[in-house]
Amino acid sequence: MKIAVVGSGYVGLVAGACLAENGNEVICVDKDQAKIATLEAGKMPIYEPGLEEMVRRNTAEARLTFTTDLPSAVRASEIVFIAVGTPQGEDGAADLQHVLGVAHEIGKAINKFTVIVDKSTVPVGTAKKVHAAVAAETSVPFSVVSNPEFLKQGAAIEDFMKPDRVVIGCDDPKAGEIMRAVYAPFTRTGAPIMVMDTPSAELCKYAANAMLATRISFMNEIANVCERVGADAEAVRKAVGSDRRIGPSFLFPGIGYGGSCFPKDVKAMLKSAADEGYDFQILHAVEAVNQLQKSRLVEKMEAHFGDMRGRTIALWGLAFKPRTDDMREAPAITIIEKLLAMGVTVRAYDPEATETARRVFGDRITYCEHSYDALAGADGLAVVTEWNEFREPDFKKMKQFMKSPVVFDGRNIYSPDQMRGLGFQYFSIGR
């Protein structure tokens, strides 16, 4: 099939590359000429495992091309995906100006029946707005489909190529069949293609992320109770997760969720509910718990050290999760800002997010090239992101670098007994 993907950010680039990987002819469109030039040179504007190799392979095979010329890309395609950003507005709602702006441009360009696909994360009612925007510019027949993405950063290629499910919202059987054909190669192992009305499809992404965020905040609350009563959150997590009605996923206590999806989608869900006169009380609590949880490591540091002024704290991990360079809403930001406000010197290391962090903190913290470099003269280490390389470090070497062997583990990646046996003062979450 001939497909255009408008927006070459995280979702659009992954979708375009994966669609090309299955033999489609895909044109990725972006108004940012510098980004297009970067992609044409085989370089990635984001870090996502496996993406660079896939883009280069499909570009070499001429299945994947990049352009700033939206009208030509639309006219050359049967299906046009809209994958531009929907940033959070001041009121918490998703800002649709980019989505609707692209819809108007598509309407001006189409010259034959075209399926227009909302791939951006959008609130209920967006498909109708996109339809109206396109219809205002053309009398050419078209259909608008909602097709929410369910990509995890760090595993996006796998999620797209082998999805748990594909959700398609449409009221046009012809468009529905075209979308089934697009996703048939990705669902040969039996993953369902769920065709439904557009409001239900639009709600699916927000509902899924709100549920996952709820599980995280719930388990963090349980972990906080565990600390007060002397229980082990890890034992509780395993017992609760073994219940088939609940399952083990997203029940790991830590220092809160971040990233481009959960915080924004929880806020958007709250705003959408409020617009309909409904007070979504559980999600208000989820959001409040998450904000408090991001400060838990700093609270533990204060309880241990007392006066923090003049201390040096090493941070392992800056990205909101492993296998990405994304720091949007990352717990590291809250932790570092609080430490800096206390007069603490921060030495940080992350395998991929250093340049992102420079844009956030400038020269207010020290960026280290290697994990052990961050430990030099440190009064304590905060483990903030659970990168694999942090799981089995040389503990003897750590002690040699550090001023005092104190570890604040925000991701519970070490064994308390092992750490104490090695001579560390060790603080984790809920244990």
The residues annotated with a catalytic role in the active site are 261
CA atoms within 13 Å, Cβ hemisphere of 145: 29
Given a contact cutoff of 8 angstroms between Cβ atoms, the answer to whether 14 and 21 are in contact is no
In angstroms, the CA 52 to CA 46 distance is 9
Residue 226: closest CA among 218, 75, 165: 218
Helix (H) / strand (E) containing 26? strand 25-29
In angstroms, the CA 314 to CA 297 distance is 12
The DSSP string of 102-128 is HHHHHHHH--S-EEEEE-S---TTHHH
The structure tokens listed for 318 are 């800056």
Interstrand relation of 380-383 and 312-316 (parallel, antiparallel or unpaired): parallel
Given a contact cutoff of 8 angstroms between Cβ atoms, the answer to whether 396 and 424 are in contact is no
